[in-house]
Amino acid sequence: MATLAHALQLIGWWIAPLIIFLIRRNSRFVSFHALQALLLQIVHVIIVAVLMMLWFATIFTTIFHQTSGKPPELPPALFLLFPLVWLGFMAMWVGTLTIAILYAIKAGRGEWADYPVIGKLARKMLKMGPMEGHFA
């Protein structure tokens, strides 16, 4: 189930790790891995929301700054922002794919592998010590 929590986040986003986290609360190993996958998906949603707000703010700013008497001009910021937003989405997708596969393999081996930053937060939320479970 811990392996599924990592792997299913690729197609089930935050819903699959949440379901596994809620169903398998009695297993600290599965809860730990499912919570990490869930927290990664929450961070992913927050970053997507920020990128979308930035994108829409640029579009609406461009629309409101157009003058009625002149032909429309596209601002240079739009040409810079579009590739940056696209690269941001692609980087997040590749990062999530890599992390999900890597940690699904580790969970399948029975390792208590922590995500780089999210692992410490998951341990605090589950009231686990920094080394608890590493030797189980």
Task: Locate 96 and state its tokens.
Answer: 């999530």
In a domain, 136, yes or no: no
Q: Domain count of the chain?
A: 1
Query: Which range of residues forms the domain containing residue 99?
Result: 2-125
Does 98 reside within a domain? Answer: yes
Residue 134 counted as domain residue: no
At residue 67, does pLDDT exceed 60?
A: no
Q: Is residue 44 a part of any domain in this protein?
A: yes
| Percent of the residues in the chain that have a pLDDT greater than 70, as a whole number | 85
**Arithmetic mean of pLDDT, 71-90:** 76
Residue 56 lies in a domain: yes
CA–CA separation, 105 and 121 (whole Å):
21
Cα 35 from Cα 55, distance rounded (Å): 30
Length of the chain, in residues: 136
Question: Which distant-in-sequence residues (6+ apart) come within 8 Å of 125 by Cβ?
Answer: 35
Within a domain: 135 = no
